[in-house]
Structures are given as structure tokens and as C-alpha cells.
Amino acid sequence: MSYHKPTIGILTGGGDCPGLNAVIRAATKTAERLGYGCIGFLRGYEGLVDPVSYMPLDSRVTADILLKGGTILGSSNQGRFTALVGEGKRVQIDPVLLARAATTLRRLGVLGLICVGGDGSLAIAQQLHEHGIPVVGVPKTIDNDLGATAFTFGFDSAVATATDALDRLHTTAASHERVMVLEVMGRHAGWIALHAGIAGGGDVILLPEIPWTFENVCRKILERDAQGKRFTLVVAAEGAKLPGGGTVHGDGTPGTQRQVRLGGIGEIVAGEVSARLGRDVRTVVLGHLQRGGTPTAFDRMLATEFGAHAVRLVHEGRFGETVCYRPPGITSAPIAEAIRNLSTVDPRGSAVQAARALGIGFGDDGDGGQPFAAGEPPRSGHADGGIA
Ligand code: F6P
């Protein structure tokens, strides 16, 4: 028996991103206006059990967090709650742990738990749901790789940071007639590289979704030289596969697993281009700068709508669903569906077509062709689980 006021719980799981605090604020304010209490569990799912750790949330606590990066609740992408490993392989969470989490929520009078997370954290939420725990999901990730939603918040801020980096690299690359390689995050989806590459005037964009070769990258650089543009900006997604196959791990070795730490492709591209062309090539790895800092206005807006809508789902008892953005509005979908369909860049999508039309290279044989040569009508751009 609970002696608490009906309460909504919220937690932030997985890697952080700009906009998490905007969700917490929106959910808290909405819950308060509906007459619910609100608490935030600390360090992601870890705060649910041994030791149970949480903080009360109200509109005074969340008063100044809209524009703050990170999450006031803390987060964890390691620990006892793991539901995905390797290539999206499901791992069963210990039922004892799930039962303890259920007990915690019952004791605190939590009638619904809002889980904010990417595919890994939403996969945990799904297992909580299957265990009978009342959860709703809110999708976040800078990678923008969840098929159920046209955009996740955090993505736009990451793209803005990467675009700003390209703007800065542009002037120094031009001054020194250098090839500059910018490595960006995104895991196994090339969304950040594609959007920042286009917005920041990149010349070559290397994506996980488009096989590429060093020959084609070098050809593009020489083509630009011949046009009198003796500098080139290459944007490499951390998950872009090497021409020989395999992604590059954080320690520089090729790998094939999904939850591994990616990183190092930029140095490899720079080294190879430098060796082949005898040119000065420099690399910048943007890393976690893409995850920190203030959310853009778009991300604050999206996160705010997500937070308010998540409380609505709890209020209406629609558990096992996640909020999502399907333009023009916010709606919801089963969490199970959201984690099943990951979204990657469609190589024939409209953004790639537009980039090619401008002469941006992707390091493949499609470089250098006539704009829209294949006569393909523009497509939404999502390869998997795309938004109609
Ligand atoms: O999923 C978000 C993300 O930033 C990826 O783009 C990146 O590969 C990964 O997380 C990095 O994770 P960590 O912070 O654990 O190194």
C-alpha cells in the first residue's frame, strides 16, 4: 500500500545529449499542472534499485534548466540494466532486478515511469513494460537513428556543433591549402555527417551507408585542385566502413559489433590520402563536443513537446508506448516498434541527391555524374523504418 500522492517518475538513460533537461522540465511542469507529484531517478535505471536514488522534481527545481546541456538526473550507459549487446542482440535483464524495480515504483506511488533514452535505453524500457511495469518512452540521441521518429532531440544540436566546426576548418584549410578531415559521431548511421557535411560546405562525405574508396576520395581532391580549389573538407562518420570492410574501433582496430566504441576513421583517411597524394592532411575528431552544451531552439522545442506528451501518455494510461515526431505533429508508437526499426541514411534519398547535384562526393562511383542523372524522384531520406 502506498501513502504517496500519485507520482510520475522520470529517468534519463544512455549517452547524454542536449535537450534532456528540457524534457525533464516539460514533464515536471505538465505533471504538476495535472496534480501529480514528480520524481527523477538518478543515474538512469541504476537509481531504481540498491541503492534506490531519486530527487523530487517540481517547477522550482526545473526553473533554470531549459537551456542546460547534460541531464540534472545523471545517466548511465553501463551497469546492471543492459538489454542490447553486439549487433542489436537482446539480452534478458535479470528478473530479480526487474522485480526490485517494480517494488521501488510501487513503494513510491509511481503510477508511470518516463524513460528517456536511445535504442539501448528504450530496449530496457520495453523489458520493464513486458514485466508489467508502467513505462512510456521518450526517444533521444544525437545519432537520429530511431525509425519511429523523424527526428530525435539532440541531433540538431550535434549537427550545429559539427557545422560550426566545419565553418572554422574551412577558413584555415583554405589559408593553408590543406585537406582537413573532420570525424563526427553517429554510430552506425550517417545522419550527423550528412547534415553537417551539407550545411558546413563539406566536399567529401563518408557515410556508413555508402561504400567508398580511397581512389575516389583522392580523385575528388585532385578534381578540386584542378578547379583552383586547393583545399578540401572531408567529413567522415565514425561508423563509415573501411573499403576493405569493417568499422574502426576506438583503439584503431577494425570491428563488426554494434555497441563497440567507434572512432579512428578520420586518422586512417588522413594517413592514406596524405600517403597517396603527398599532401598535408590534418584530422579533427569532434567527439563528445557534439553531445555537450546548450540545445538549439529546435531541440528545446522538440524536447518540450516530447516531455509534455509523455505525461499525457501516462495520464491516459497508454503504457508501453513512446512519443515520436511524425511531421507535422507529435504522436506515439509502441516502444517495441521504435527499437525494431533503426533509421539510416537512404543513399538515394533527397539529401544525398541534392549533395551530389552540387558536386559533393561520397567516395563512390556516383561522384562526378550529372545532377539527378538516374532520374530518381526525391525520397524522404530514411532507409529503414522511414517516415512516410
Ligand atoms: O549514441 C550516441 C553516441 O554519442 C554515439 O554517436 C557514439 O558512438 C557513442 O554514443 C559514444 O559513446 P560513449 O560516450 O560511451 O563513448
Kindly give the number of the ligand 1 atom that is closest to the alpha carbon of 291: 4
Express each pLDDT in 242-290 by its tens digit: 998 899 987 655 544 446 789 999 999 999 999 999 999 999 999 999 9
21 lines ligand 1 (CB under 6 A): no
Q: How many CA atoms lie within 13 A of 333 on its CB side?
A: 20
Contact (CB, 8 A) for 143 and 113: no
Kindly give the number of the ligand 1 atom that is closest to the alpha carbon of 263: 8
Confidence band, pLDDT 50/70/90 cuts, at residue 158? very high
Contact (CB, 8 A) for 264 and 248: yes
State the alpha helices, DSSP H only, in 141-189. 155-176
Specify the higher pLDDT residue, 216 or 376.
216
Residue 259 alpha carbon to ligand 1 centre in Å = 9
Express each pLDDT in 281-336 by its tens digit: 999 999 999 999 999 999 999 999 999 999 999 999 999 999 999 999 999 999 99
User: Among residues of the chain, what percentage have pLDDT more than 90?
Assistant: 84
Find how far residue 22's CA is from the centre of its chain: 16
Say whether pLDDT at 380 is over 80. no
User: What is the residue with the minimal CA distance to atom 11 of ligand 1?
Assistant: 261
What number is the average pLDDT over the span 55-71?
A: 97
Express each pLDDT in 188-230 by its tens digit: 999 999 999 999 999 999 999 999 999 999 999 999 999 999 9
CA gap 57, 71 in Å, rounded: 13
- Select from 184, 185, 188 the residue to mutate for testing ligand 1; criterion: most ligand atoms less than 8 Å from CB: 185
* CA-only gyration radius of the chain, Å: 22
Residue 143 alpha carbon to ligand 1 centre in Å = 8
Please name which of 14, 191, 37 lies closest in space to residue 119, comparing C-alpha atoms: 14
State the chain's mean pLDDT as an integer. Answer: 93
Residue at grid coordinates 573501411: 242
342 lines ligand 1 (CB under 6 A): no
Residue 249 alpha carbon to ligand 1 centre in Å = 12
Spatial neighbors of 293 by CB under 8 A, at least 6 apart, are 18, 69, 157, 161
Please name which of 172, 224, 233, 248 lies closest in space to residue 199, comparing C-alpha atoms: 233
Say whether pLDDT at 25 is over 50. yes
What is the DSSP annotation of 57-81?
--TTTTTT-TT--S-TT---SSSS-
Active site residues: 143
Specify the higher pLDDT residue, 4 or 240.
240
How much is the pLDDT for 261? 87
Q: Is the peptide bond before 243 cis (omega within 30 degrees of 0)?
A: no
187 lines ligand 1 (CB under 6 A): yes
Secondary element (H or E) of residue 98: helix 95-107
Residue 85 alpha carbon to ligand 1 centre in Å = 14
Residue 304 grid cell: 518540450
